[in-house]
Structure 1
Amino acid sequence: MYYKDLNLYDFFIAVMEPDSDDKLPSFFLNDSKNDQESLDAQKRINKTESNETLSDIHTTKVVRSTNRIHLPSLAIGAGIAVACIFCGMLMVNMINSETTPVLAETPQKQTEITKIQSLSVFTDNASPILGNPNAPITMVEFGDYQCTFCSKFFHETENLIITNYVKTGKVKILFKDYIILGQDSMNAANAAHCANDQKSFWKYHSMLYNNWAGEDTGWADLAHLHEFANTLGLDMDVFSTCMSDLKWNELVNLSSIDGQKLGVSGTPTFFVIDQNNDVIKIVGAQHYDVFKQIFDSVLDE
């Protein structure tokens, strides 16, 4: 994950009451005084469902080596073996402790209640809804298409969330742009919204991450962005005009400003919102088990 000043496992929860007259708390604000001046058409949320299947490919290679033991050194070898077994036991304990995110990373509710007037900062300037618009849980992701850990989340975790929670009507997802890696990221974000003009946001979103090839390596330049659109069968005249007009750049910039107001300083950052407007902030490409525990906890309330 990319940070300015956040720890990878930093979580917090703000319990929100939308009818209050209180203003956003300090951690939801930045020094920017830019108002959201986008047109209503730019701030709309298209309440559409998607049955797209996202790819999730992960290959791990295990390399093993064999060492010979010289007979005259057998006694010494036996002593070393005992020491290795002892060290191995210690390492197993360490690995177990590091791969148990449910115990180490589970956020606890704060007793202090934070109140805001609306959830528009989460839902304006966003993608169409992926999933059932009436799902009891909303997950908002702030991401950058060139971000390494955003790609990691897409390939290792997102498809599991879609399969187990989105397709079952429990969670709906919104994606919001938070540009941190330059012009190609900006162009890729604009391209996804241009694809949305042809009702293909999530297909294009998936196309981008399925073709991810690092940061600033040229995979998201204008030529490739047009190639992705053509591969999806989009109307290229409409798409090219949208891109050359920078049609959705203002929306992308406003989305980044929304992230700054919410204290986002790295990608990916997630906000999980329940029907009571309780909000859980998740920072980083966390393991699926972290999301699962949070979703299940909210659904059990």
Structure 2
Amino acid sequence: MIHGPSLAIGAIIASIAIIIAFLGFDSISNQKELVIEPTPIIQQAGPAKITINTFIDNGSPILGNPNAPVTLIEFGDYQCHFCNVFFHSTEENILKNYVETGKVKMIFKDYNIIGPDSVNASHGAHCANDQGLFWEYHDILYSNWTGENNGWASSENLGRFAQDIGLDMNVWSECMINGTHSQIILASNEDARSLELTGTPAFFVIGPDGKTTRLFGAQPFETFEKVFENELKK
């Protein structure tokens, strides 16, 4: 249950669509030994190093208690079918049982692999974040999902979503037109490629000891529950 276009397609879409789009605005892995290295001061030659910043930077504001012992990072595409499945079938239980109780904090990161509307939607969420409403915009996007590349995330609809959650439309529209958050979206996509992700949704659970568990696809709540409980015992 994972949307898996190739990395090459994702890279091309993420880099090109950001440049074009805003000019026209009108199964569980058991690899628990993935070590998070301290952030290097100087980038070494060769493959990108995986650090805590690879997971945390270039994403959404934290949802939940910033001091929660466990962190859940989701890499998603707002047009992705199985990202939408996760949102409707699993995320609510995670929020109710773990985020709202202070045990887990969540971060959403962009991995735009489907089309230009995915990038526009990501930018809409980041522009909403400028007014403190990232997660409200995130939720309204998934609540209005109707498919992939079928127009539901058009510029017109993105503007309507912004209005529906009470954003200052002049501020939000200027942010969209200027492509203010293009770099953070590109950087998030690069983080996904550094982690060798090939589809969405993809999740990383970071425990109190800094080790990670990777989860791929729209896993059921019970899968996340098992991982969370194991980490909370540490």
Question: TM-score normalised to the size of structure 1?
Answer: 0.66
Question: Are 1:131 and 2:64 matched, yes or no?
Answer: yes
Equivalent residue, structure 1, for 2:32: 13
Give the superposition deviation at 1:233. Answer: 1.1
Give the superposition deviation at 1:247. Answer: 0.8
Q: Report the number of matched residues.
A: 210
Equivalent residue, structure 2, for 1:120: 53
Describe the SS at the equivalent of 2:72.
Answer: strand
Equivalent residue, structure 1, for 2:4: 3
Asked whether the equivalents of residues 204 and 215 of structure 2 are also in contact (C-alpha less than 8 Å), the reply is yes
Alignment equivalent of 1:291, drawn from 205, 216, 224: 224
Alignment equivalent of 2:96, drawn from 157, 163, 169: 163
> Aligned partners of 1:217 and 1:256: how far apart in 2?
22
Alignment equivalent of 1:177, drawn from 73, 85, 110: 110
> Aligned partners of 2:202 and 2:108: how far apart in 1?
10
> Aligned partners of 1:292 and 1:267: how far apart in 2?
20
- The 5 A counterparts of 1:179-198 are 179-198=112-131
Equivalent residue, structure 2, for 1:150: 83
Write out per-residue CA displacement over residues 60-82 of structure 1, whole angstroms, 9 at most, x where no aligned residue. xxxxxxxxxxxxxxxxxxxxxxx
| Structure 2: runs of 5+ lacking an equivalent | 7-26
> Aligned partners of 1:4 and 1:180: how far apart in 2?
7
Give the superposition deviation at 1:3. Answer: 1.8
Question: TM-score normalised to the size of structure 2?
Answer: 0.84
Asked whether the equivalents of residues 11 and 283 of structure 1 are also in contact (C-alpha less than 8 Å), the reply is no
- The 5 A counterparts of 1:1-301 are 1-4=2-5, 8-16=27-35, 18-19=37-38, 29=47, 118-301=51-234
> Aligned partners of 1:219 and 1:177: how far apart in 2?
18
> Aligned partners of 2:229 and 2:106: how far apart in 1?
16
Write out per-residue CA displacement over residues 278-297 of structure 1, whole angstroms, 9 at most, x where no aligned residue. 11110110011000000001
Give the superposition deviation at 1:11. Answer: 4.6
Identity of aligned residues (%): 45
Describe the SS at the equivalent of 1:13.
Answer: coil
Rg (Cα) greater in structure = 1
| Structure 1: runs of 5+ lacking an equivalent | 31-115
Computed over aligned residues only, the root mean square deviation of the Cα atoms, in angstroms, reads: 2.2
> Aligned partners of 2:33 and 2:230: how far apart in 1?
16
Asked whether the equivalents of residues 117 and 149 of structure 2 are also in contact (C-alpha less than 8 Å), the reply is yes
> Aligned partners of 2:142 and 2:109: how far apart in 1?
15
Asked whether the equivalents of residues 59 and 107 of structure 2 are also in contact (C-alpha less than 8 Å), the reply is yes
Give the superposition deviation at 1:12. Answer: 2.3
